[in-house]
Amino acid sequence: MDAFRHHVFVCTRRKEEGECCATQGSQDLFEQLKAAIQKAKLPEVKLTTCGCLGLCDRPGNVLVYPEGTWYSGVTPREVEEIVEQHLRRGEPVQRLAWPTPEALRAHMAAVRERHQREREERQAGRAG
């Protein structure tokens, strides 16, 4: 028997520089998910904050296990839909989820490359 039916992670990482979920309201998103899960009476759903999921350019990042469904750009108005459709009925909200693991990996790689370039430019600016 599994300890939880779903384990939901919400990125709440705060970075010193650059875009991040924390500066875009991720703690509020976490609190809204928490309230919606409690209201729906879903004790078998575990909600946890986490560090960077690698999608800083699309704040509002939520990861749902055991399916491994990644949601990005989640807003408060979509919380109820995720709770009811995915967490209660077990049906991921396809319009909000990444379409394929390949698309997700490609986007994450592009974000990492961009962040690396930005770090190098900042370091070059400090050295120059």
Position 51 scores a pLDDT of 87
Position 1 scores a pLDDT of 47
Q: Please tell me the pTM assigned to this model.
A: 0.86
**Site of tokens 């396809």:** 94
Confidence of residue 17 (pLDDT cuts 50, 70, 90): low
DSSP 21-74: SGGGTHHHHHHHHHHHHHHTT-TTEEEEEES--S-TTS---EEEETTTEEE-S-
SS3 call for 11 = strand
82-108: average pLDDT: 95
CATH fold for the domain made of 6-98: Glutaredoxin (3.40.30)
Which helix H or strand E contains 105, and what residues bound it?
helix 101-127
Q: Measured between alpha carbons, how far is residue 13 from residues 7, 72, 102 in Å?
A: 18, 14, 24
pLDDT exceeding 70 applies to what percent of the chain? 91
Chain segment 56-71, per-residue pLDDT in tens: 788 899 999 999 999 9
Between 55 and 34, the more confident residue is 34
